[in-house]
Structure 1
Amino acid sequence: MAKNRAFARLSPSSQLYGMHDSDALATFGYVVRALDAQGIGYLHLTEPNAKALESGQIQIEHVAQTFRPMTSVPMIVNGGFDKAKANAALAAGEADLVAFGVPFIANPDLVERYRQDAALNKPDPATFYGEGPGGYTDYPALSEYSAAPASATN
């Protein structure tokens, strides 16, 4: 049988636009297992965002840890990850890949910054999803002076 090229992205902890489920674990657990049975190409799950964590209005706090045992397909996670948290999730087998959204918006050279353990630009959410390039193309890149090769220990 040919490998399924479909994928799914789920946000089990999101309550965006009033979304709520009285038993999110049962609902999303069923969906994750059903998608696994279909042999989807990969499953992309979002962790709760900082705003949700601060408000205490989260349905499932540790999404990757909760759903990894329910699926055998490659799993991508995102939401609130920094370099250390991403490496820990990968090392623990909670995901096969970590996606970065907001850190990439503010740091188009994010991979190199992580490689060098360089400081990150602070994102400006007020400029997200607006018109024009402001907030997307005007974040400073690493200087020529800090672009030295990373050490063998990073």
Structure 2
Amino acid sequence: MSNLFTPLQLGAVEISNRVLMAPLTRCRADQDHVPTEMMVDYYAQRASAGLIIAEATMAMEGNSSFWREPGIYSAAQVAAWKKVTDAVHAEGGKIFLQIWHGGRTCHPVLNDGKQPVAPSALAITSDKANTPEGKLDYPEPKALKDAELPDIVKGFAKAAENAREAGFDGVEIHAANGYLLDEFLRTSANHRDGPYGGSVENRTRLLLEVIEAVAGVWSEDRIGIRFSPLNSFNSMKDEDPVGLMTWLAQRLNNYQLAYVHLMRADFKGEQQADIITPFREQYQGNLIVNMGYSPEEAAEAVSQGQVDAVAFGVPFIANPDLPERIQEGAELNQADPKTFYTQGTEGYTDYPRRNA
């Protein structure tokens, strides 16, 4: 396991180990999407991660996809997140913020009746929305006009500005799991004509504009990006996921990014392919991978040079001291899924440390 505990330079940020905390939606913000004090404790507890990638956070107001997820568009949110970053830094940790637009997953019940937006007027049919009223069907979204896209790009840039003010070490652009940027990338959700639809060059145009706008207010080496080319969650599929990711790997070499974060599989097991190998062959920067890695497999992947680091999700929910447990070969706590999206401290900040 020793190769998981060597330093790694991620753009402008040096991390002390290669056991990263994946972004995990936990629904512990308040009703105004302001981070709470329990979130300060939660992230500080996990500061021994090489890098914490904080949960999907609303870049723009009025685009809530989960009840009580955090935002980064108001002064109150920035001030609350500053408490989180200060606490993580005080423990010696590093933390990026995942900035995000939910696209067609933004249910009207969560957004004062507002119709969601998407690249095309295609509703999600494979999953249901989690709302305070229970699980609800997704409505048909409004297809965005080309003229509306610059405001979304500006929204991501402003979110990055706010994340910098809040003390984050960088941002991760969320282009995965069937949310807006991923919807533009993949063919099942993007049926557009014109400059943002059709060819892979056109479908990736919005993402590249977001990268350039975020780099314009911060810097390329403070930016990560997350992709899920195989994940069928939220009615997503691409007719050529390997081709899409190969093209993106080559195009992203034009930027000096901190990293690319690649989800290797499909939550539902419906789509299968080797995404990592062709991406690694083409991409020259840092590659972080995620989804179902054991510590042993993670160490082997890093040792063989397949990846530079591995992000763990659910294990970090139940094990605030996950890196120490992996390094010592200690038994891991098991997470309780019933508390993943509740609003209290149970199943959030009460998992025991090994030596507590």
TM-score class, shorter-chain normalisation, is 0.7 to 0.9
Please say if 1:58 is aligned against 2:271.
Answer: yes
**Residue-pair matches, total:** 137
Please say if 1:30 is aligned against 2:247.
Answer: yes
Kindly provide the amino acid, as one letter, of the partner of residue 70 in structure 1.
Q
Question: Where do 1:17-96 residues align within 5 Å?
Answer: 17-48=234-265, 51-53=267-269, 57-60=270-273, 62-96=274-308
Q: Which structure has the larger Rg?
A: 2
1:105 to 301, 317, 338: 317
Are 1:12 and 1:59, in contact at CA under 8 Å, matched by a contact in 2?
no
> Which runs of 5 or more residues in structure 2 are unaligned?
1-218
Kindly provide the amino acid, as one letter, of the partner of residue 32 in structure 1.
A
Please say if 1:4 is aligned against 2:220.
Answer: yes
Query: 1:40 and 1:12, CA in 2 relative to 1: closer, same or farther beyond 3 A?
Result: same
CA deviation after TM superposition for structure 1 residue 77, in Å? 1.0
TM-score (ref. length: structure 2) = 0.36
SS in 1 for 2:285: coil
SS in 1 for 2:344: coil
- Give the structure with the larger strand fraction: 2
Root mean square deviation, CA, Å: 1.8
Are 2:227 and 2:262, in contact at CA under 8 Å, matched by a contact in 1?
yes
CA deviation after TM superposition for structure 1 residue 59, in Å? 4.0
1:135 to 344, 347, 352: 347
Are 2:314 and 2:335, in contact at CA under 8 Å, matched by a contact in 1?
yes
Partners of 1:115 and 1:22 in 2: how far apart? 41
Query: 1:70 and 1:129, CA in 2 relative to 1: closer, same or farther beyond 3 A?
Result: farther
In the TM superposition, structure 1's runs of 4+ consecutive aligned residues that sit over 4 Å from their partners are none
CA deviation after TM superposition for structure 1 residue 140, in Å? 2.2
Partners of 1:138 and 1:63 in 2: how far apart? 36
Q: Deviations over 1:98-139 (max 9, x none)?
A: 111211111001111111111111112221132122211122
SS in 2 for 1:15: coil
Percent identity for Structure 1 against Structure 2 = 37
Kindly provide the amino acid, as one letter, of the partner of residue 98 in structure 1.
V
Are 1:14 and 1:59, in contact at CA under 8 Å, matched by a contact in 2?
no
Partners of 2:233 and 2:276 in 1: how far apart? 19
SS in 1 for 2:268: helix
Question: Where do 1:109-128 residues align within 5 Å?
Answer: 109-128=321-340
